[in-house]
Amino acid sequence: NKGILDKLKLRNGKLVKEERIVKAVNDISFDIDRGEVFSLVGESGCGKSTTARTVIKLIEPKGGIIKFKGNDITQFSSVEMLQYRKKIQMIFQDPFASLNPRQQIIDILAEPMLFHKVVHNLKEAKERALEILEKVGIRPEQAARYPHQFSGGQRQRIGIARALAVEPEFIIADEPVSALDVSIQAQILNLLIELKEEFNFSYLFIAHDLSVVKHISNNLGIMYLGKIVEKGSKQHIFNNPMHPYTKALFAAVPKLTGRNLMNSKEIEGEIPSPINLPAGCFFHERCPYAKPVCREEMPDEKEIEKDHFVLCHLY
Ligand code: SF4
Ligand code: MG
């Protein structure tokens, strides 16, 4: 997926507009089975959110295919797109920004139910909204309140309830806990796991922190500068990480010992600009194992063991 970035530049004493192509996501592929959780993990700016937004078609892809139950969504008619939008829901990092501040939370849930016709009338929508709110831990007597009357964790529960309201099959969760206190994060993650088990839906889960996705994931893709550099099952990634970037991410995960957060190691070096991508492997400037070939050639994806893929010249 590419975006155009306009920048004004002074050239020969004149301001000129320079168009530059940014490849936010570049030739990636993954699949998610029913009832499974696929997590995309990487530092901010690596293209995780762009991938998520492309899957839900908030961003129009400039190429490639995105299939949902065998059908390419990039070819959908507007009617098919409407049906797809009901089956696929998104949970955002900042629930406050995505909840209408002027709506009572019961209406925040009832409205999409009526729009997508999962209920027959407003009365039924409100009854169903109360049931769903209870499922995520919001009591019926709180249903007439407005978003600002809830804590951050409760607001995320409301965001999750809204996603559930239209009976989706697939949920995209874009950093759903990273804005929350650490003490609340586990509660929300557990709620997401419980709901998945009850409804058997699939998740595309976006995170910048491996520890967050450890329990929820079946499979993971590690992203760096628009590419998936390693992909495999949870066991592959957590027990046998192969790519130097994945290893560096593990070294950067803060370890919780008792009540103290031990110092985590930062990954050294700057993330290169996606506008002037380096030649060769995009990670070579930061990689402790870089060889001469790494500065020249982008490695191909290799299957190191069954269903465990790595993009690195070391293998
Ligand atoms: Fe490091 Fe080279 Fe592998 Fe890139 S290809 S991660 S630079 S060893
Ligand atoms: Mg993001």
Q: What is the pLDDT of residues 167-189, one digit of tens each?
A: 999 999 999 999 899 889 999 99
The predicted pLDDT at position 260 comes to 37
Q: Please identify every residue whose CB atom is under 5 Å from ligand 2, which is an ion.
A: 49
pLDDT category of residue 2 using cuts at 50, 70 and 90 = very low
Q: Is 84 in the pocket of ligand 1 (CB under 6 A)?
A: no
Find the domain containing 141 and state its range: 31-217
Q: Which ligand is nearest to the CA of 269?
A: 1
The predicted pLDDT at position 290 comes to 95
Q: Is 283 in the pocket of ligand 1 (CB under 6 A)?
A: yes
In a domain, 305, yes or no: no
The residue with greater pLDDT, 20 or 307, is: 307
Place of tokens 């893929």: 309
How far does the centroid of ligand 2 lie from the alpha carbon of residue 232, in Å?
22
Is the pLDDT score of 261 beyond 60? no
The predicted pLDDT at position 262 comes to 42
How far does the centroid of ligand 2 lie from the alpha carbon of residue 226, in Å?
12
Q: What is the mean pLDDT of residues 272-297?
A: 89
How far does the centroid of ligand 1 lie from the alpha carbon of residue 49, in Å?
24
pLDDT category of residue 101 using cuts at 50, 70 and 90 = very high
Q: Is 312 in the pocket of ligand 1 (CB under 6 A)?
A: yes
Structure tokens at 121: 């009338």
The predicted pLDDT at position 26 comes to 80
Relative to the CA of 299, which ligand 1 atom is closest?
Answer: 5
Do 310 and 230 contact (CB within 8 A), yes or no? yes
Mean pLDDT of the chain: 88
In a domain, 22, yes or no: no
The residue with greater pLDDT, 65 or 11, is: 65
Is the pLDDT score of 100 beyond 50? yes
Q: How many domains does the structure of the chain reveal?
A: 1
Is the pLDDT score of 16 beyond 70? no
Question: Which residue's CA is minimally distant from atom 7 of ligand 1?
Answer: 284
The predicted pLDDT at position 171 comes to 96
The predicted pLDDT at position 25 comes to 82
Relative to the CA of 295, which ligand 1 atom is closest?
Answer: 7
In a domain, 166, yes or no: yes
Strands of the chain (E only): list them: 2-11, 14-23, 37-41, 67-68, 71-72, 88-91, 170-174, 202-207, 219-224, 227-233, 256-257, 260-261, 301-305, 308-311
Q: Whole-model pTM?
A: 0.88
In a domain, 241, yes or no: no
Relative to the CA of 284, which ligand 1 atom is closest?
Answer: 7
Is the pLDDT score of 270 beyond 70? yes
Q: What is the mean pLDDT of residues 245-274?
A: 66
The predicted pLDDT at position 19 comes to 55
In a domain, 138, yes or no: yes
Is the pLDDT score of 73 beyond 50? yes
Which CATH number is 171's domain given?
3.40.50.300
The predicted pLDDT at position 18 comes to 57
How far does the centroid of ligand 2 lie from the alpha carbon of residue 49, in Å?
4
Is the pLDDT score of 227 beyond 90? yes
In a domain, 234, yes or no: no
Choose one of 246, 285, 312 to mutate for the ligand 1 pocket test, by most ligand atoms within 8 angstroms of C-beta. 312
Q: Is 227 in the pocket of ligand 1 (CB under 6 A)?
A: no
Q: What is the mean pLDDT of residues 79-88?
A: 92
How far does the centroid of ligand 1 lie from the alpha carbon of residue 1, in Å?
23
In a domain, 203, yes or no: yes
Q: Other C-beta atoms within 10 Å of 166: how many? A: 19
Q: What is the mean pLDDT of residues 97-113?
A: 94
Least confident of 131-140, 206-215, 253-262, 306-315: 253-262
The residue with greater pLDDT, 15 or 251, is: 251
Burial 138-154 (b: 16+ CB within 10 A, else e): beeebbeeebeebebbb
- Measured distance between the N- and C-terminal CA atoms of the chain, rounded to whole angstroms: 28
Residue among 63, 50, 95 at smallest CA distance from 223: 50
The predicted pLDDT at position 99 comes to 92
The residue with greater pLDDT, 263 or 25, is: 25
Q: What is the pLDDT of residues 204-213, one digit of tens each?
A: 999 998 988 9
Q: What is the mean pLDDT of residues 261-290?
A: 77
Percent of the chain with pLDDT over 90: 70
In a domain, 2, yes or no: no
How far does the centroid of ligand 1 lie from the alpha carbon of residue 245, in Å?
8
Q: Is 308 in the pocket of ligand 1 (CB under 6 A)?
A: no
Question: Which residue's CA is minimally distant from atom 3 of ligand 1?
Answer: 312
The predicted pLDDT at position 21 comes to 60
Q: Is 281 in the pocket of ligand 1 (CB under 6 A)?
A: yes
How far does the centroid of ligand 1 lie from the alpha carbon of residue 303, in Å?
16
Do 48 and 40 contact (CB within 8 A), yes or no? yes
Structure tokens at 109: 């849930």
How far does the centroid of ligand 1 lie from the alpha carbon of residue 293, in Å?
9
